[in-house]
Amino acid sequence: MLSNFFKGLSLALGLLLPIVASAQTSGLTVELNKVEASDTGGCSAFFLFRNETNNSFDGFEMSLAILDTQGVIDRLLSIDAAPLPVSRTTLKLFEIPEIACEDISEILLHDLTSCRPQNGDEMDCFPILTLHSRAAAALVK
């Protein structure tokens, strides 16, 4: 009787593992990889975009709120990260003007103003989006 239980458990796990694996490898990850002082007196933000969806994106624009060390919105910044090829990691560098990197506590994804798959219509990408930060400043939605 116990061996039947383990056979059933083994079968169930065998069926679930591909589902779990595909859930972990699908979606679009935006990572704030690092920030560093720029020559213009602002902050250079290095973003990695990991596109593990089945679509390339011709349109991907984000509206970001830059929060200072007091948690107060310092400015809004719109960035265009397109194109984002399918099954690729893309590096994009964006300038955040007139604020030192150490004065940024958080970057809030305020809105996705465009998320358009190649040859497709605009879509809501929030459900497939994961944000991550390796920098001192958090990246949140």
- The residue whose two tokens read 């624009």 is 61
Residue 64 lies in a domain: yes
Predicted local confidence at residue 88, as pLDDT: 96
Residue 102 lies in a domain: yes
Q: What is the pLDDT along the chain (141 residues), one digit of tens a residue?
A: 545 544 554 554 454 444 433 334 589 999 999 999 999 889 999 999 999 999 999 999 999 999 999 999 999 999 999 999 999 999 999 999 999 999 999 999 999 999 999 999 999 999 999 999 999 999 999
Predicted local confidence at residue 4, as pLDDT: 58
Residue 127 lies in a domain: yes
Predicted local confidence at residue 9, as pLDDT: 45
Predicted local confidence at residue 10, as pLDDT: 53
Q: What is the CATH number of the domain that holds 44?
A: 2.60.40
Separation of alpha carbons 69 and 78, rounded Å: 21
Residue 22 lies in a domain: no
- 32: CB partners within 8 A, 6+ apart: 45, 46, 47, 107, 132, 133, 134, 135, 137, 139
Residue 11 lies in a domain: no
pLDDT tens digits for 40-62?
Answer: 889 999 999 999 999 999 999 99
* Partner residues linked to 135 by β-bridges: none
Show the CA angle centred on residue 88, arms to residues 17 and 81, nearest 5°. Answer: 125
Q: Could you give the number of structural domains in the chain?
A: 1
- The residue whose two tokens read 């958090």 is 138
Closest CA to 48 of 70, 30, 63: 30
Residue 89 lies in a domain: yes
Predicted local confidence at residue 26, as pLDDT: 83
pTM of the prediction?
0.80
Predicted local confidence at residue 21, as pLDDT: 39
Strands (E) across the chain are located at: 28-37, 43-51, 57-68, 73-80, 88-96, 104-117, 129-133, 138-140
* Partner residues linked to 51 by β-bridges: 28, 88
Domain residues for 92?
27-140
Residue 107 lies in a domain: yes
Predicted local confidence at residue 51, as pLDDT: 97
Residue 19 lies in a domain: no
